[in-house]
Chains A and B, each alone.
Chain A
């Protein structure tokens, strides 16, 4: 089973700052199948990025994804108040399994 490890666990930043979130996988994964989600308290997750770097419909261009192999990154260029939330990476592999990382909480400093 592929394990996804996100870091840091918590990121304390101020509005307007840049956020860089990391997702490392225990085995190389296809970039086609790496996604990022945002979840706010009491809400369902929302797809931000799919295919490692493609923004989902309606997602601000402040959000960008990059990476390949075992190292992937979600960058939020300038944090807005509504961006403070928990972020999850997720991968799909050829053993027909979907796996999530443990999440990174972006909190207001």
Chain B
């Protein structure tokens, strides 16, 4: 069974940092593109970042570029999202998702990790 399990969410002050993790199981992690998608309370889905299968290419939404960093460790079957200089508008549930390379869609999702940015 495919599973994606996010961890690391919580309360962080504006300007602070947080690292989210996404542990994968049940599929060949190193063959899948990994991404983060967020959902602010009561709002829709917004793509945040994507990383290639080998970690050599990363992509970011303009709203997080220069502040967030996506990475992966294929030996640990884990993807990460380092969030720096967070703002109130970064408050959201952050979903980890996997994607078949070249498909453009996200075929499996984790249950999400809530990040709240507040003083």
Contact = CB atoms under 8 A, between A and B. Distances in A.
Interface string B31-72: 000010100000011110010000000010100000000000
B85 interface: no
B44 A47 contact: no
Interface residues of B, number: 20
A50 B99 CA distance: 11
B66 to A, nearest CB: 16
Interface in A38-66: 39, 43-47, 50-51, 56-57
B36 to A, nearest CB: 11
A102 to B, nearest CB: 5
Contact of A88 (B45, B59, B61, B108): B45
By size class, the interface of chain A is: 20 to 34
Nearest to A44: B109
B44 A100 contact: yes
A58 to B, nearest CB: 11
A32 interface: yes
A99 interface: yes
Contact of A100 (B47, B50, B103, B107): B47
A45 B104 contact: no
B106 A100 contact: no
Nearest to A57: B107
A67 B108 CA distance: 24
A22 interface: no
Nearest to B59: A96
Interface of B: 35, 37, 44-47, 50, 59, 61, 95, 103-112
Interface of A: 32-33, 35, 37, 39, 43-47, 50-51, 56-57, 88, 90-92, 96-103
